């Protein structure tokens, strides 16, 4: 991963600290240590490969802004998106211990990444056990999200799949501080949503229209408003336990 941007550790570390404090117990001393990490920022355009399957990176990255996805491709070239990542997430943290990437990471939207060398991660984990626990918890939550996605794609119908995906994105964006006035900015194409829920772009379009027709959501460009949050939650069978947030507040 080529790094070309300047060092701006204060802002980057604030995003990281916010995320870790939302899922684990981080002391002020731990937060101060995280604030001292060297994080190199990198701007990325939409639809740009960040890491590819087979890469052997010596860095991991945090999403500072925008949306990133992980994906796998079939032999015929069909893409399955396996997770979305929003501000504060550490998509490839497992790369510290798994030397070869087994999936691809791509930017879904224009965004900004914070790149941290694996040696820096190892050093702070050795010195700060609670920080190491928080990073471990972050990867465990990623695994919980993968399990939920398997269930969503494998066992729910199209209407429920789309509703569940929208619920998850809304809750995670709100947790990351990226929701304003109950409106989420989701500049993700319908084709990409289809790759995430196992539907064609045409089927996604029909399903979103059905959700709008039932008064659950409203869209305007890239903006999504949950008009009937309890109804959307019910439609998607959405139970946020798997996100393991310390103070889950999903009332919308």
pLDDT tens for 44-75 read 999 999 999 999 999 999 999 999 999 999 99
- Identify the residue with better confidence: 177 or 160: 160
pTM for the whole thing? 0.92
- Identify the residue with better confidence: 182 or 151: 151
Show the domains of the chain with their CATH numbers.
3-152 (2.60.120.10), 157-251 (1.10.10.10)
pLDDT at position 5 is: 39
| pLDDT tops 80 at residue 181 | no
Whole-number Å distance between alpha carbons of 124 and 121: 5
Cα 181 to chain centroid, rounded = 21
With CA atoms as reference, report the closest residue to 112 among 72, 138, 85.
85
Region 137-152: mean pLDDT is 97
Could you tell me the CA-to-CA distances from 72 to 131, 143, 167, 232 in Å, in that order?
30, 16, 23, 29
Query: Would the CA dihedral through 175, 181, 182, 183 be positive or negative?
Result: negative
How would you classify the pairing of strands 179-180 and 111-117? unpaired
pLDDT at position 12 is: 86
pLDDT tens for 4-13 read 333 343 468 9
**Rounded to the nearest 10 degrees, what angle do helices 158-175 and 129-155 cross at?**
160
Place of tokens 């269930």: 151
236: buried, middle or exposed (CB in 10 Å: 19+, 13-18, 0-12)?
buried
């Amino acid at each position: 991963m080529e790094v070309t941007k300047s060092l701006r550790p204060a802002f980057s570390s604030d995003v990281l600290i916010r995320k870790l404090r939302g899922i684990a117990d981080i002391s002020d001393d731990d937060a101060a240590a995280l604030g001292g990490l060297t994080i190199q920022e990198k701007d990325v355009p939409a639809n740009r490969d960040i890491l590819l399957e087979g890469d052997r990176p010596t860095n991991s990255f945090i999403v500072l802004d925008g949306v990133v996805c992980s994906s796998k491709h079939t032999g015929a070239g069909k893409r399955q998106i396996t997770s979305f990542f929003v501000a504060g997430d550490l998509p490839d943290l497992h790369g510290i211990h798994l030397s070869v990437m087994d999936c691809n990471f791509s930017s879904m939207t224009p965004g900004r990444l914070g790149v941290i060398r694996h040696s820096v991660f190892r050093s702070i984990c050795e010195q700060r056990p609670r920080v190491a626990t928080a990073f471990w918890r972050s990867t465990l939550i990623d695994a919980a999200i993968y399990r939920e996605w398997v269930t969503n794609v494998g066992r729910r119908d199209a209407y429920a799949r789309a509703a569940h995906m929208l619920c998850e994105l809304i809750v995670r964006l709100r947790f990351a501080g990226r929701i304003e006035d109950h409106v989420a900015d989701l500049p993700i194409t319908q084709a990409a949503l289809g790759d995430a829920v196992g539907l064609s772009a045409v089927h996604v379009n029909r399903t979103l229209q059905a959700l709008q027709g039932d008064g659950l959501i409203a869209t305007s460009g890239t903006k999504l408003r949950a008009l009937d949050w309890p109804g959307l939650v019910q439609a998607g069978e959405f139970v946020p336990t798997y996100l393991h947030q310390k103070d889950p507040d999903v009332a919308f």
